[in-house]
Amino acid sequence: MSRSGRSLTDAVAGPGLTRAELTERVHGFGGRRVVVIGDIILDRYLWGSATRVSPEAPVLVVDVEREELRLGGAANVAHNVRALGALPTLVGVVGKDAAAESLKRELKARSVDSDGGVLTDPARRTSLKTRIVAHEQQVLRADEETRGPVAPTVLEELWQRVERALSTADAVLVSDYGKGVVTPALLDRLLPELKRRGIPSAVDPKEEHFFCYNGVHVITPNVAEASQAWGRRIRAPDDLLEAGFGLRERLSAHAVLITRGAEGMSLFTSEGHTHFPTRARKVYDVTGAGDTVVATIAAALAAGASLAEACVLANHAAGIVVAELGTAVATGVQLIESLEELPNG
């Protein structure tokens, strides 16, 4: 049994919220400012077909037919926030290279503000992930990046940009992909400052930093990340309950939201837990679904939503993006349309 007196399987899909209430929350995203801090990545897709094996090695030869650039990491999170109708300010680090220029063009095309927050460090490579896709199946990924922590001088300049952005922030989102921007030193300054200012925060975590997110408002690990942090694999409902409540206590967090793929997501607070069954009608590709969840949570918190409302909306938004191949986003209009199945009174 959970601390709220119910088993996990008895938890409800939503806390009695109506379509009208949730629709109003989505409309409330407009004009709200979300500061997105984290690792900025450029995703490059090469689409083509493979009909032969290379004479040079036992590998497929892919005839590339088109190239597509997409935002990844914290850049994709910021794109998600913007697509939902809120106003993201992206804070992070890129190199001085062609990938950085491409990233800036893609951000500008999606109306994501990066002028004041994205710092150029010539000593680093911009994170670039190239995926080769043949017949709608990914056959190879090649990564080009710098993974070490940013230099102390870069961190100081980055912090100055964070402080400027916080002056107008309604919520802060930390997107940690383990590429060196989100470090214990940054978190030790950021999280107490957010608490002092009363700004809600959401974190998409990386395992090696998990217990550096102390005092965060809500953290959104997937079940593998939660298992790693808890030190035991989450297999059964009792394992989930123990890990969810235990991690919340260890982090002194207001809430832990464990995303569980096809099984939905489970929210743990001091008041108990709530389970949200998946809203996905078709799962084609889960790439970027975690970005969508944390972006929706942050946008909802920025608009003054409760955690329960934020989780219902995030669940619906995730159901939209997993039905598409590759990194995708859910728009505010799509999110409202997906709420039509809910009761309206």
Is 291 one of the annotated active-site residues of the chain? yes
Most confident option among 8-17, 66-75, 255-264, 269-278: 66-75
pLDDT of 281 strictly over 70:
no
CA torsion through residues 107, 113, 115, 116, sign: negative
Task: Please provide the CATH number assigned to the domain covering 8-41+72-126+147-341.
Answer: 3.40.1190.20
- Residue among 43, 113, 176, 291 flagged as catalytic: 291
pLDDT of 207 strictly over 60:
yes
Nearest to 107 by CA among 77, 75, 133: 75
CA 308 to chain centre: 18
Q: Note the pLDDT tens digit of each residue in 3-50.
A: 444 444 433 445 567 888 899 999 999 999 999 999 999 999 999 999
pLDDT of 322 strictly over 80:
no
Contact indicator for 182, 157 with CB cutoff of 8 Å:
no
- Give strand ranges (E) for 253-322: 255-259, 265-269, 272-276
The residues facing 91 across adjacent strands are 37
Q: Give me the mean pLDDT over the 129-154 stretch.
A: 94
Q: Report the alpha-carbon distance of residue 259 to residue 240 in Å, rounded.
A: 11
Angle CA 69–279–199, to nearest 5: 70
Look at residue 147 in the predicted model and tell me its pLDDT: 93
pTM exceeds 0.85: yes
Length of the chain: 345
Residues 211, 216, 218, 223: what is their CA dihedral angle, to the nearest 10 degrees?
-10
